[in-house]
Structures are given as C-alpha cells and as structure tokens.
Amino acid sequence: MKNKQVIWQILFGLTAVSSSISSHAQIQGNYFAHKDWEIACDNTGTCRAAGYQSDEAHHAISVLLQRAAGAETQVNARVKVDHEGDGAELTQLQLLIAGQNQGMVKIDPKTAEGQLSHLQTQKLIQALQGTQPIIWTLKNKQWKLSVQGASAILLRMDDFQKRIDTDSALVRKTTASSDQVLKAKTIPKMNIKNYIKGMQNRHAIQSPTTQQLFSQLKKQTKTEDCPQLFDGNFLADDRVIVFPLNRQNVLVEVPCWRGAYNEGHGYWVMDRSLKQIKQTVTFTGSSFSEGQIFSNQRGRGIGDCLSVEEWAWNGKGFIKTYKAQTILCKGFAGGAWDLPTLLYRVQPES
C-alpha cells in the first residue's frame, strides 16, 4: 500500500508537467531519480530508464530501458555488468526472474553489455512492478537487479510520453487508443557559424590585462558563481585564456572554483578589446575547442556520477546543445549509460 501511495503522489505531481507537452510544442527534457532507478527523457521524446543493484549488493549491474515517443514504439532493453577480476570469459548470461529461467542473453565481452529479446524485455517490465528477484548468472556468480523505485520510474516514462491509461502504457495499461500519445521529434540541428579559429592568448593572473579584465567580470558575476575571481585563490600555473571566435568577438576562460574531484572554468563572450561582456555562458566549463564549450563534472572520485553539458557557437552566442547526468553512483566508471535530457546534432561550419 505504501508503494502505491508513493506512485500516486508522483503521478499527481507530474500531471501538470505532462499536460503542458503537446505534439506541436518543443519538448522539454527532464531527469528524475527514485531509490535504485533513474530516468532521463530528452527533447526528442525518447526516455531512457536505468536501474541498478541495491547498495547492499556486491556486484554492479545496470539495465537500460529505452523507448522513443510515438504510438507504436517498443521498449528496448540492455544489460551491463561489472565483470572485473574473476577471470571467467563473459559471453552470455542467464536471466532468472522469480527463480524461473528466462533464457540466455548474449554479452559482448568488450563492453560487458547485452541486448534482451522482446520476450525477455516484456517479462522484465512485468517483474519490475513486483517484488520477485531479477538475477543474471554466470556459473557461480550472480548480479541482482533492484526493483526498488522501478514502478515509479516506469510511471514517469508513461507520463512524459502521455501513455497513461492507454494501450501502450507500461504501468497503467487500458484498451484506450494511443493515437494521442507524445509524438517523436527529430534531433534538432545546430550549425557552428562565423567561427574563425586563431591563436589563443594566455595571460598571467597578475598581469595588467587580467586585472583589468577581472574588474569588468566582477560587475556581472556573483561571488558564489566564480569565487576565485573574487578571492584570488589561484594556483601558480593558472592562466586566463582568450580564444578568438571571429573578427568581433573572443571567448574568455577564467578558473572559477575547485572541489574534491572537479574544477570549473567560467566562460564569457566579449569584444576584442575586452571591454564589453556580450554573454555569460557557464561557470562549470572544462574546455573549449572548435567553437564548442564542454563541461564534464564528476559526482565522486571514481567518476560514476556525471554531469555533462555542451555549448556551440551559432555566430552570435553560445547555445546549449547537450545535457546529461547520472545522480546514482553505482560503481560504473564513466557511468553505465548516456542519459541525455537535451540533444542537438552539431555541425561544423563548412
């Protein structure tokens, strides 16, 4: 009964979000995590739900359930396991649901990933809404997938794609038509325009150019966004880098903050004379290359929680073209899967 109450609370909170999405409007992606499951739905309408082992389990496993928007789309399911150190060759795993053999899943030894069949996927989705164990085995080794949070995540997928109470729903399935579910969008294109690659200029922190620049940046920057800009707590080899964008504009990179596992740089678009700030892009950047800014931030040292963002130059400013995150730290270095909420197909200027 308690689990049902949680699901209904989530459903009630999501109704306003889903009702605002129409097949003609731009789709706003979002991310949600609950217990041992997380989901990211992107601006094309595709949702990716990832489940993991419980915190008490010894062996890392993850399942990815991916479904595009649209009435006739099916769920694609993949499994990935941590297979380090036991010496056994990993080419296939046996799937057991509630102790019943559901067949073998072929595994790529290089990636430790495998594709579930349509029947296995259907059995898995059904089991995720219950309490029976879901286990993959190899000889005497077992990987147990947690069902904690799974029902809420599946409901979230249905809600985002407007499938609740339709014949294509995963959780609350009826015989009602799916004609009005969320329609899929193509990945939008983003062209890098009016970008001229040139020689970057690197300025020492104590140089007159840097100090004059800092005075300008402080006028439009909050202390909490770029603390090093205000407290001057720089390292000896820190530099302010000015990248040319075109004949009118440059991109300024300033070290802003450092944490246990990460550091963030601030990026500003300015005029060539460094007198006018035209755009503040981000304070969590990591690098710039070929008209694009990249941000990669880790949730902890081994990097199994990640936040990734990208921006591209459109000739006038930087537009965010990619965003993905994983909040659940479950032992897969680099994250088990890509879980984007924003996707663009970035094309360099021809």
Q: Which residues pair with 76 in a beta bridge?
A: 66
DSSP state string for 76-115 = EEEEEE---SS----SEEEEEETTEEEEEEEEETTTTEEE
pTM over 0.95: no
Q: What is the pLDDT, as a whole number, of residue 38?
A: 98
Could you give the CA distance from residue 253 to residue 288 in angstroms, rounded to a whole number?
9
Q: What are phi and psi of 206, to 5 degrees?
A: -90, 5
* CA separation for the pair 295, 117 (Å, rounded): 36
The single-letter code of the amino acid at 45 is G
Interatomic CA distance for residues 166 and 178, integer angstroms:
6
How far does CA 115 lie from the centroid of its chain? 21
Q: Which domains, and CATH codes, for the chain?
A: 2-185 (2.60.40), 190-347 (no CATH)
Residue 82 contacts residue 61 (beta carbons within 8 Å): yes
Rounded to 5 degrees, φ, ψ at 40 are: -130, 125
pLDDT of residue 139: 87
Please tell me the predicted confidence (pLDDT) of residue 86. 57
Burial of 294 (0-12, 13-18, 19+ CB in 10 A): middle
For residue 18, the model assigns a pLDDT of: 44
Question: What pLDDT score was predicted for residue 241?
Answer: 98
- Report the alpha-carbon distance of residue 235 to residue 256 in Å, rounded: 11
User: Hey, which residues does 66 pair with through a beta bridge?
Assistant: 48, 76
Nearest to 313 by CA among 342, 264, 347: 347
pLDDT for the residue numbered 10: 47
Query: In which element (H, E) is residue 213 found?
Result: helix 208-218
- Backbone torsions φ then ψ of 348, nearest 5 degrees: -65, 155
Is-contact 303 334, C-beta < 8 A? yes
Instruction: State the pLDDT at residue 88.
Output: 64
* Averages of pLDDT over each 10 residues, the chain, 350 residues: 46 44 74 98 98 95 98 97 74 97 96 97 98 94 97 98 98 96 98 95 98 97 98 97 97 97 97 97 98 96 94 98 95 94 92
Any bridge partners for residue 313, and if so which? Answer: 318
Q: Are 55 and 169 in contact (CB under 8 A)?
A: no
